């Protein structure tokens, strides 16, 4: 269950305004906006070392993981393959093995609006290392670029298809800080809300039904250093906690923790 288009709380970089001739990538947890000619084929490969695997407040592994991914994009359409390799035992007792592979397809709608970026797409989550069934979601998200030099608010809605239930809403705001041409920082926060059926599926425990409500809250900071024009090193630190009450009970019953301070290092190569 990946963080869409990236491996964690990635650095948010703003390079101009997203318009009809640019391609915009929007991460599930933070907003990543880059300006490029959408007619050119863009291929990137990444490998991340994270101190834990946390997804929407759900701590699947308290131990270190390796998360590689490859993205191919053109004309505002991007296809991504992402994987999670558990170095230590995860919540399903999988260790030293590949526990998840996700496939996602994203389209940035080419609106002639300087202040708004809208993405739609779908994600297939598969679990080769366990008996869990694959699940899939569709999503739509928007980012407001009016104040992109100072902060970027965004919201994204995920809906389960026939093999998963409910709706998950992610609200995020990130402040990009461009230090130089090769070095940048970001700070931000996000919060996730789930419908009743979504919360039952992911946070239910001992037959106790969940109500609709807030799931997870996150604060994060990140940095990116461009080693070369096509090679960058990223780092981030995130504190994740879940809402109290029955969500917290579900976290303690189903996952490895109800809060987590975790970080990651990511090497990105663009072909």
Bridging pattern class, strands 97-108 and 77-86: antiparallel
Domain-wise residue ranges, the chain: 42-270
Say if residues 74 and 270 touch (Cβ distance below 8 Å).
Answer: no
Dist. CA 94–CA 130, nearest whole Å: 8
Q: Mean per-residue pLDDT for 151-176?
A: 93
For 93-140, how does the pLDDT look when each residue is reduced to its tens digit (9 = 90+)? 999 999 999 999 999 998 767 789 999 999 999 999 788 889 999 999
Domain at 42-270: CATH code: 2.40.230.20
Q: Stretch 214-236: mean pLDDT, rounded?
A: 98
Give, for 199, the enclosing helix (H) or strand (E): helix 196-203
**Cβ pair 112, 136 in contact under 8 A:** no
Residue 8's pLDDT is 37
Instruction: Quote the CA–CA distance of 100 and 132 in Å, as a whole number.
Output: 10
d(CA 48, CA 65): 8
Give exposure, 65-85, as e/b (b: 16+ Cβ within 10 Å): bebbbebebeebebebebbbb
Q: Give the mean pLDDT of 199-208.
A: 85
Q: What digits encode the pLDDT tens for the residues 8-55?
A: 333 333 333 333 333 334 356 444 445 556 788 999 999 999 999 999
On the question of pLDDT at 254 being above 80, the answer is yes
pTM here is 0.87
Instruction: Give DSSP secondary structure letters for 158-172.
Output: EEE-TTS--EEEEEE
Packing angle, helices 196-203 and 246-254, rounded to 10? 40
State the pLDDT at residue 15.
32
Phi-psi sector, 159: left (phi>0), alpha (psi -120 to 50), beta: beta
């Amino acid at each position: 269950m990946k963080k869409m288009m990236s491996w964690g709380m990635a650095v948010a970089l703003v390079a101009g305004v997203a318009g009809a001739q640019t391609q915009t990538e929007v991460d599930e947890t933070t907003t990543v906006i880059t300006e490029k000619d959408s007619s050119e084929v863009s291929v990137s490969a990444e490998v991340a070392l994270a101190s834990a695997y946390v997804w929407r407040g759900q701590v699947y592994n308290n131990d270190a993981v390796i998360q590689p991914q490859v993205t191919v994009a053109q004309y505002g359409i991007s296809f991504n393959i992402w994987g999670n390799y558990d170095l230590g035992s995860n919540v399903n007792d999988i260790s030293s093995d590949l526990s998840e592979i996700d496939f996602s397809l994203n389209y940035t709608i080419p609106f002639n609006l300087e202040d708004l970026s809208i993405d739609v797409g779908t994600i297939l989550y598969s679990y080769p290392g366990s008996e869990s069934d694959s699940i899939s979601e569709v999503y739509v998200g928007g980012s407001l670029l009016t104040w992109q030099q100072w902060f970027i608010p965004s919201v994204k809605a995920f809906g389960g298809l026939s093999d998963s239930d409910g709706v998950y809403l992610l609200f995020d705001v990130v402040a990009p800080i461009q230090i130089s041409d090769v070095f940048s920082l970001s700070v931000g926060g996000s919060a996730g809300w789930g419908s009743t059926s979504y919360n039952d599926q992911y946070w239910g425990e001992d037959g106790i039904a969940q109500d609709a409500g807030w799931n997870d809250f996150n604060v994060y900071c990140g940095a990116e250093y461009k080693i070369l024009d096509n090679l960058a090193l990223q780092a981030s630190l995130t504190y994740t906690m879940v809402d109290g009450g029955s969500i917290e009970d579900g976290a303690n019953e189903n996952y490895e923790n109800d809060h987590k301070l975790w970080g990651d290092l990511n090497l990105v190569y663009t072909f």
